[in-house]
Structure 1
Amino acid sequence: MDTAVVLFTRDLRVHDNPALHEACRTAAKVVPLFVLDPSAPSSPNRQRFLLESLADLRESLRGKGGDLVVREGDPVEETLKVASEVDADGIALAADASPYAHRRERRLVEGAGRRSVKLFPGATVVPAGDVRTGGGGHYKVFTPYWRAWQAAPHRDVVAAPRKVVLPAGIDPGRLPEPAAGSGFAAGGETAGRKRVKAWLGSVGDYDDIHNDLPGDGTSRLSPYLHFGCVSPLDLATAASTRDGAEPFVRQLCWRDFYAQVLAAFPDLRTKAYRPGADDTWKKDRNALEAWESGHTGVPIVDAGMRQLVDEGWMHNRARLVTASYLTKHLGVDWRSGAAVFMHHLLDADVANNYGNWQWVAGTGNDTRPYRRFNPIRQGLRFDPDGDYVRRYVPELADVPGKAVHTPWDLDEATRRALKYPEPLTLD
C-alpha cells in the first residue's frame, strides 16, 4: 500500500494503537488525521482536555517524523476529502460500540469508493462482540461476563511506530489553543502514561481505598481511557502482574461489559434496558437545576455535583450517591441526570455513563433494581469526618465533624422541590 489515512477518534495515542501500527507497517506514507467536529457537544473542561491531548499527540507524531493533520467539520466528509487529496489506498480507524461510531463507519465505507476501510481494536480490552454467551448473545449480567472475559484471549499489545512518513505537500492544519480552565489533570498520552506508572505502584491497595471520598484513592484514569490517551489493554496487562490488582482490573472489565451492552442495545441512552422496568419519571426542572448546581440541601450530594462542575470529574462513590438521589429520592428521569453527566464529565463515555445510570435507576443491568443509597448514611460511612463535603461546599466549612452531613436548606422553593420520600437523618 502506498498511502493510508489513520482517522483518530477515541485513540489519541501512539503506544498500542493497532490502527496506526498497521498503517505504518503496511503503507509507505501515512496521514494521521483528527477532525474537530463543531457539532459535538462538549463542556469547557472536556474541550480543554481534548485539545491538550491532541497537542500531545501531535508532538509525539512529530518526534517520529510525521505530524497530526487537523481538520474541522463533519468527520466523515473531511476524512474522505483528505483521502482524496493524498490519493490514499485505504482508511484505518478504531472500532467503537456507540451508534454514532457505527454510523461513522458505515458512511466511511459507503463514501470510500475504491479505498479500503479497515477497523481495528483498541477502545476496550476485549472487543465488544468477542465475548458471547452460550446462546450467542451478549451478557446481561456482569459476573458471568467477568468470568468469560477473564478466560477470553487478549490480543498482544503493539509497539508505537518508530517512524511516520507524511505525503509531501499536505497542510497539517491549525490546532486551536486550549482555553485556560479548571480540572484535575492535563490531557494527553504523556500525562496519562505518567499517571499509569504512578498508579501501578499503589494498585494493590485499590480494594481498600477506592470508596474513601476525602482520600480520593481511585486511579483517576477514566478520562485518559475515554479519549484513548491510555490503552485499556496495556493498562489491564500491566495491572494484572501486580499483587492485589484484581479489583481494579475488574473495573476495566465493567468498562468492556457496558460496551458490549451498548453494541447489543443501541438505545441504551434513551430507553430502559430491563424489560418491564418502571420507566415513568418526573420532569422537574427546579429539582434538576438544584441538583446540577449542588444546591439540594443534602451535603454529600451537593459536594459531588460541585466537584463534577468544577473539575469535570467525580469520585465513583459520589456518582452512585448523586445519581441515586436524583432518581430514587426525587424521582427525576435518569436520562436528564445522565445528560448532565455527559455534559460535564471528562470521561463522558456513552456506554459507561448510560449503563451506570440505568444500573442506579433500576432500569438497567442491576439484579437488585429497587436498591437505593441513603445519602446521609453514605456520607457518614465514606466521608466520616466531613472533609470531602467541606472541600467542595465552602458554606459548610466551619461545621465540625459528622454534623456537616446534616441536611441544610436554602429557600422555601428549594425545600418544596426537594421533599424526601424516606427519612434522611444522622441516626
Structure 2
Amino acid sequence: MTVAIALFTADLRTHDSPVLRGALDSADQVVPLFVLDDGVRAAGFVTPNRAAFLTGCLADLDRALREYGGRLVVRSGDVVREVCRVAEETGAGQVHVAGDVSGFAQNREERLRTALSAARRELRVHEAALTVVPPGAVTPGGKEHFAVFTPYFRRWSAVGVRRPLAAPAKVSVPDVDSEPLPEASGFAPGRPSPELPAGGESEARRRAEAWLAGPIDRYADLHDDLAADATSRLSPYLHFGCVSAAELVHRAVGRGGTGAEAFVRQVAWRDFHRQMLADRPVIARADYRPRGDRWRADDAEAAAWREGRTGYPLVDAAMRQLAEQGWMHNRGRLITASFLAKTLYVDWRVGARHFLDLLVDGDVANNQLNWQWVAGTGASTRPGQILNPLVQARRFDPHGDYVRRWVPELREVDGAPVHRPWLLPDAERRRLDYPEPIVDLDEGVKRFRRARGI
C-alpha cells in the first residue's frame, strides 16, 4: 500500500487544496501533516495573534479531515527532520507541499528536496496552491518579474482562473503518531488582541459565502470608506490558506459587476507582490528601489505612533483598531504607513515589524512590499506622494464615525474638530486627555522632501 505526505504550510484547508488532492491522487494512503516549525518561531513569526488564529485553523482542519475519515498529524521541531521522520515511519514515497515565495520558504523547499532525494523520496511542489497565478507564470520581456502593477494585471487577467478542486470524499491515514493539537499559549506567550476573528476553513467559507452573496457588489464604491467597514475581511483567511485565492477569484469573476472587478484587482496585488518576492527574496528586508534615505531614529515618536497617541485622530484610530482586532482597514494601513515613513521620516522597517507583530494577515510579501510602496522605496510610480491625514479624514471619514469608534476620548466631540481637536477651546482640550500633535504636517513634508531631494 503506497503512502504520500500532504505537508500543510500556508494552505490550511480541504476545499481547492492542490497539495491534499495531489497526495490523494498519488497514493493509497495520505498523512496530512503540519509541523510546528522551530524555524518559523526563531524568525519571529509566531506572535500571540497569529498563534491564536493558527490554533483555530488547525483544530478546524483536523475536524474536517475526520469527516472524511482522516485526521491531522501534528509534529514539532525542525520541519525537514520531522517530515523525513514521518516518511520513514510510514514508508511514504512522496511529499506534497505548496510552493511559496519568501526566502524562508524557498530555503525550506530546497532543504526538503535535498533530504528527501538522499532517502530516495520525491518532493512534489504545487505552485498554484497559494496564488491565483503562480510566480513566474507571467513575465515581461527580458525580465524575471513585473515591477509595475498595471501591465502585470493585464497579463495576469489574460491567464484565466483554474477551476477550484472539490473537497475529498475520503482520506485514509496510515497508523502514525501525532502530538496533540496545540494551544496558543503553549507556543506563543502573551495575550492576543481581544477582538480577533475565529480561525479556520469553516469560518472562512462562511465569510466568503456571505461576502459573495451581496456585499461584494458595493466594494468598488465603499472599499475606502473607513466607517462603512465594507471590505471582505478575508485577508487573515487568505494568509493562512483557509480559503483559496483562486476559488475566490473564480467565483467573483462568475458573479461579475464593478464590485467583483475591484475585488479581483485587489487579489491580483497579492500575486503581484509574491512574484516580486519570489524573484528577489532579499526585498523582505532591503529596499527594492533604494533612495539613499538616512532615516530618523526617534523612539518617542515611534512609540506614540504604535500606541495611537500621535495627536492626529485618523492615524490614532487606525493604530488602535490594529491593537484591538489584529487587523486594520486597508485605507488605514496606507495612512498610518505614510505618516510613519514620510511625515515622521522613520524607517519603514520599524512600522513593518510592528504590523507583523499584530496583524493576523501579516504576510511577508504583502506587508513588506506595501510598506515599501508607501515609503517610496518599492514599486510605486509616485514615490514622493505623502498622504495628509487631515485630507484623508475629509475624504474617507467625513463624519468622524471611524475616529469616534476607535478613539473614545473624542467620542463626544461634534463636527470637524473630531479630526482637528486642537481647534477646541483650551478647557475642553484638557478635559479630553488627548495628546497634542507630535509633528507639524507642513514641517514633516518639508523634512521628507529635503531628505529625498524633491
**TM-score under structure 1 normalisation?**
0.94
Q: Deviation at 1:269?
A: 2.1
Q: Deviation at 1:176?
A: 2.3
| Residue aligning to 1:292 | 306
Q: Deviation at 1:419?
A: 4.5
Q: Is the 8 A contact 1:69 1:171 kept in 2?
A: yes
Measured against aligned partners, the alpha-carbon deviations of 1:45-69 in whole angstroms (never above 9, x if no partner) come to 2211111011000000011111000
| Residue aligning to 2:24 | 24
| Residue aligning to 2:144 | 137
Please state whether the residue corresponding to 2:294 is helix, strand or coil. Answer: coil
Q: Deviation at 1:237?
A: 0.3
Distance in 2 of aligned mates of 1:198 and 1:310: 24
2:101 corresponds, among 91, 97, 101, to 97
Q: Deviation at 1:210?
A: 0.4
Q: Is the 8 A contact 2:74 2:179 kept in 1?
A: yes
Letter aligned with residue 157 of structure 1: P
Distance in 1 of aligned mates of 2:444 and 2:94: 62
Q: Is the 8 A contact 2:49 2:358 kept in 1?
A: yes
Distance in 2 of aligned mates of 1:136 and 1:16: 31
Measured against aligned partners, the alpha-carbon deviations of 1:185-238 in whole angstroms (never above 9, x if no partner) come to 211111001111111122121010101101101001000000000000000000
Q: Deviation at 1:177?
A: 3.3
Report whether the alignment pairs 1:269 with 2:284: yes
Q: Is the 8 A contact 1:210 1:218 kept in 2?
A: yes
Q: Deviation at 1:385?
A: 1.2
Structure 1 window deviating more from structure 2 (170-179 vs 342-351): it is 170-179
| Residue aligning to 2:110 | 106
Q: Is the 8 A contact 1:41 1:343 kept in 2?
A: yes
**Aligned residues: CA RMSD:** 2.0
| Residue aligning to 2:232 | 219
Structure 1: gaps of 5 or more residues: none
Distance in 1 of aligned mates of 2:84 and 2:293: 42
Distance in 2 of aligned mates of 1:401 and 1:166: 62
| Residue aligning to 2:11 | 11
Report whether the alignment pairs 1:351 with 2:351: no
Please state whether the residue corresponding to 1:241 is helix, strand or coil. Answer: helix
Distance in 2 of aligned mates of 1:407 and 1:42: 38
Identity of aligned residues (%): 51
Structure 1 window deviating more from structure 2 (176-185 vs 83-92): it is 176-185
Q: Number of paired residues?
A: 421
Q: Deviation at 1:405?
A: 0.5
Q: Is the 8 A contact 1:269 1:335 kept in 2?
A: no
Distance in 2 of aligned mates of 1:80 and 1:419: 58
Distance in 2 of aligned mates of 1:332 and 1:252: 29
| Residue aligning to 1:154 | 161
Q: Deviation at 1:80?
A: 1.5
Please state whether the residue corresponding to 1:50 is helix, strand or coil. Answer: helix
2:206 corresponds, among 191, 194, 197, to 194
Measured against aligned partners, the alpha-carbon deviations of 1:133-153 in whole angstroms (never above 9, x if no partner) come to 122421000000000001114
1:206-285 alignment, distance < 5 Å:
206-242=219-255, 243-244=257-258, 245-274=260-289, 276-285=290-299
Q: Is the 8 A contact 1:226 1:349 kept in 2?
A: yes
Distance in 2 of aligned mates of 1:334 and 1:139: 23
Report whether the alignment pairs 1:85 with 2:106: no
Distance in 1 of aligned mates of 2:123 and 2:245: 24
1:329 corresponds, among 330, 343, 361, to 343
Structure 2: gaps of 5 or more residues: 186-191, 423-428, 446-454
Q: Is the 8 A contact 2:4 2:92 kept in 1?
A: yes
Distance in 2 of aligned mates of 1:215 and 1:189: 26
Q: Is the 8 A contact 1:67 1:172 kept in 2?
A: no
Letter aligned with residue 283 of structure 2: L
Q: Deviation at 1:407?
A: 5.0
| Residue aligning to 2:441 | 420
Q: Is the 8 A contact 1:23 1:92 kept in 2?
A: yes
**TM-score under structure 2 normalisation?**
0.89
| Residue aligning to 1:318 | 332
